Structure 1
Amino acid sequence: MDVSRARARRTPPVLRAALPLSAVLCVVALVPGCSGAGASGPSGSTTQAAPAAADTLQDDYQKVIKEVLPSVVQIQASSDLGSGVVYDDRGHIVTNAHVVGDERTFKVTTTNSTDELTARLVYAYPDQDLAVIKLEKLPEGLRAARFGDSAKVAVGQITLAMGSPLGLSSSVTQGIVSATGRTVSEGRSGGGTGATIANMVQTSAAINPGNSGGALVNLDGEVIGIPTLAATDPSLGNGSAPGIGFAIPASMVTTVADQVIEKGEVTDSGRAALGIAGRTVLGDGYRPAGVAVVTVTDGGGAAKAGIEPGDIVTRFEGTDVTTMQSLSEALAGKKPGDEVAVTYSRDGAEKKADVTLGEI
């Protein structure tokens, strides 16, 4: 599966007709009314129950939007546009590293104002595709978002994605949590960080260019993730695959943001490392066949296990390793301190080693 970053170029959006939000809400809310007493009772009960349910859900949506949308901002770099979430009352904003790119100064627009505010980069952490910027001046009405508990995110929960898709600021789309625990790799083309990110939240809420760095929110008004990637379908010319988007979980966002705000950098990533620098090697038929070890980190897990430059890693915990990306994806599901079985070849002979993983 391919993924693309949900960042927007400064080009006018092409608009197409869509159902109004209220219509979508009514359709969703009518489903439970098709069974139970409402279906077999008097005609009056059937006509009243469904609209009441729709009104309740609609009220929930509007309450959450009113509460959270003021915490979602639009971020403008020199040529690209994305979104961000106000993290605290000191003007810190969390967003994606691929939104800020290599720049250090940005223009920020809040939901309740058209004034452009200046923000400066605090720190970017491309390994997790996260970054923190800070407003130079705090506007009135700035509101920090509440971040939820990633452990409580469950498949089927209703979600709202808030951001600036295609430059349309303060936009909201709705969907559900489609899956949790996804490991997704981001390409480097077009300014991508190349990050492999574990435990991502998959959602059916529409994620479009410009949504990057915005908010994926539950009906309790909590940010449960930062929308980052959308799946693409090669059969559609790499156009977005509708209803398949991914958000960095809130737990990782707060872990990174807290360290950046307190220390100015990330000192404890929580991400496992094998302790090598490597490159993909090709085998028969010019197909990827493993990861060649270019260097090993002194005192790292690989070095302690006897792995040397020139070795070729072919398996990791029983999973075939053919490329650097596949190795990164395998590592993404592990924690520093885990012991893993690594298979590698040296001068054509297969060898095995138990490696205690370090930290990036």
Structure 2
Amino acid sequence: MSNLTMFSDELANLVEALSPGLLLLGGGDVHERTAFRFDDGHYLTYAWQADTGDEVSARDTSGAALTLTVAGFDPVSGLAVLAAPQSESGAATVSPAPRHATVPRVGELSLALAFPSDHGIEARLAMIRCVGKSTVVGMGRSIASYYQTDGRMHRGFAGAPVFSCSGDLLGMLAPAGRGREDLIVPAGELSTMIERIKRGDADSRAYLGVNTQAVEEGLLVTGVEADSPAAQAGIRTGDFLVSLHDTRLSTPEDLWMLLSSRSGGDVVTVKLERGGVPQELEVTLIGLDLEARKHRRGRGHGRGGNRQGRGGRRSFEP
């Protein structure tokens, strides 16, 4: 038997061993998506919107129907933690801990597994092409590191676990936004995010609601989100932001750093120029988590209305 045949057999055996830890979520009027087991009682997935206590329909690889409950949701990153039924047994335990202390080398192979439809498990083998530092996922959740592979994954792999060839969890595939490449959230970052979600910590970092661009004249406002703190305070597209609470602004990064040091509920003074005339506005900031929830709710309405679960509760939406 050739080395290549042995390697192929080992990969197939690995897929078979890890597949029982995957679930197919949704169906009917809810988009289907993969969830994977990360400890004895919980699964992890990405969702567009969810409320703690929502019930989620799922199927395992044997075809058995399950009902899980949302244990926590981070609207900024889109990660949802699902509590597995106590009666379920036999699924492979997938913990985010095994590999989070070891960064993979560029050139190593990785194995992504997904359960995106009734057609069954899908697998993608790809090479780690990049180990990067500091980026954001979702609507602004900062992570200290990330991985990328040389293969593009289709939509069904969003939220899929990615393993090393020894079966250790490397991380989770984050949904790629328009014009953005797929990236893997490392297992160590997942551990931190999961604990935050399970504690129910809110992200109180401040949100203003403007798009900006550095130009020769200063920091130009290129867009203002409707109903945002900026819009309510009277900031308009075409304004030049001069300072926020007496700290001068020159780049979008300056604004980002200042907002990161503020919290929802803070009232700040924004100095700007409009048509060459200086102006000063008071702005009441809101928390990023509140804005993320509002944005996700709004998109949910645009995709077919306010989906309702049991008792009138908005249902989980992958």
Contact 1:214 1:226 in 2 (8 A): yes
Q: Using a 3 Å threshold, how does the CA distance of structure 1 residues 120 and 310 change in structure 2: closer, same or farther?
A: farther
Contact 2:51 2:70 in 1 (8 A): no
Deviation at 1:62, TM superposition (A): 2.1
Distance 1:152 1:215 in 2: 16
Contact 2:24 2:117 in 1 (8 A): no
The answer to whether the aligner puts 1:217 opposite 2:182 as a matched pair is: no
Task: Select 2:150's aligned residue among 204, 215, 230.
Answer: 204
Deviation at 1:155, TM superposition (A): 1.4
The answer to whether the aligner puts 1:159 opposite 2:110 as a matched pair is: yes
1:256 partner SS: helix
Over residues 35-89 of structure 1, what are the superposed CA-to-partner deviations in whole Å (9 max), with x where a residue is unaligned?
xxxxxxxxxxxxxxxx622023213312321222211211116421111111222
Q: Using a 3 Å threshold, how does the CA distance of structure 1 residues 345 and 118 change in structure 2: closer, same or farther?
A: closer
Task: Select 2:77's aligned residue among 128, 131, 140.
Answer: 128
Task: Select 2:220's aligned residue among 289, 292, 309.
Answer: 289
Q: TM-score, normalised by structure 1?
A: 0.56
Structure 2's unaligned 5+ residue stretches are 231-242, 262-268, 279-287, 290-318
Contact 2:131 2:147 in 1 (8 A): yes
Instruction: Name the aligned partner's letter for residue 139 of structure 2.
Output: G
Please say which structure displays the higher CA radius of gyration.
1
Over residues 216-275 of structure 1, what are the superposed CA-to-partner deviations in whole Å (9 max), with x where a residue is unaligned?
111110111111223655xxxxxxx9xx521211112122224544x4x247x8xxx8x5
The answer to whether the aligner puts 1:79 opposite 2:26 as a matched pair is: no
Contact 1:213 1:228 in 2 (8 A): yes
Deviation at 1:277, TM superposition (A): 3.1
User: Greater relative contact order (Cα 8 A, min sep 6): structure 1 or 2?
Assistant: 2
Instruction: Name the aligned partner's letter for residue 209 of structure 2.
Output: R
Deviation at 1:132, TM superposition (A): 0.3
- Runs of 4+ in structure 1 deviating by more than 6 angstroms, as ranges, are none
Distance 2:39 2:5 in 1: 33
Contact 1:86 1:94 in 2 (8 A): yes
Over residues 154-180 of structure 1, what are the superposed CA-to-partner deviations in whole Å (9 max), with x where a residue is unaligned?
211101110124654311111111212
The answer to whether the aligner puts 1:247 opposite 2:161 as a matched pair is: no
Tell me which residue corresponds to 1:36: none
Deviation at 1:125, TM superposition (A): 0.9
Distance 1:254 1:177 in 2: 21
Q: Using a 3 Å threshold, how does the CA distance of structure 1 residues 178 and 129 change in structure 2: closer, same or farther?
A: farther
State, as a whole percentage, how many aligned pairs show the same letter: 13
Q: Using a 3 Å threshold, how does the CA distance of structure 1 residues 204 and 281 change in structure 2: closer, same or farther?
A: closer
Contact 1:159 1:176 in 2 (8 A): yes
Give the total of aligned pairs.
Answer: 246
Distance 1:161 1:94 in 2: 15
The answer to whether the aligner puts 1:169 opposite 2:100 as a matched pair is: no
Q: Using a 3 Å threshold, how does the CA distance of structure 1 residues 76 and 58 change in structure 2: closer, same or farther?
A: same
Tell me which residue corresponds to 2:253: 321
Instruction: Name the aligned partner's letter for residue 74 of structure 1.
Output: L
2:5 partner SS: helix
Deviation at 1:118, TM superposition (A): 0.4
Distance 2:95 2:197 in 1: 18
The answer to whether the aligner puts 1:229 opposite 2:186 as a matched pair is: no
Instruction: Name the aligned partner's letter for residue 289 of structure 1.
Output: L
Instruction: Name the aligned partner's letter for residue 107 of structure 2.
Output: G
Contact 2:50 2:70 in 1 (8 A): no
Task: Select 2:20's aligned residue among 60, 70, 76.
Answer: 70
Tell me which residue corresponds to 1:9: none
Instruction: Name the aligned partner's letter for residue 204 of structure 1.
Output: D
Instruction: Name the aligned partner's letter for residue 64 of structure 1.
Output: L
Contact 1:178 1:204 in 2 (8 A): yes
1:65 partner SS: helix
Distance 2:183 2:34 in 1: 15
1:224 partner SS: strand
Instruction: Name the aligned partner's letter for residue 215 of structure 1.
Output: P
Distance 2:211 2:151 in 1: 38
Distance 2:111 2:11 in 1: 8
Over residues 124-170 of structure 1, what are the superposed CA-to-partner deviations in whole Å (9 max), with x where a residue is unaligned?
01223311011234334122114332342221110111012465431
2:80 partner SS: strand
Distance 2:219 2:58 in 1: 43
Q: Using a 3 Å threshold, how does the CA distance of structure 1 residues 66 and 101 change in structure 2: closer, same or farther?
A: same
Q: Using a 3 Å threshold, how does the CA distance of structure 1 residues 182 and 86 change in structure 2: closer, same or farther?
A: same
The answer to whether the aligner puts 1:61 opposite 2:11 as a matched pair is: yes
Contact 1:165 1:208 in 2 (8 A): no
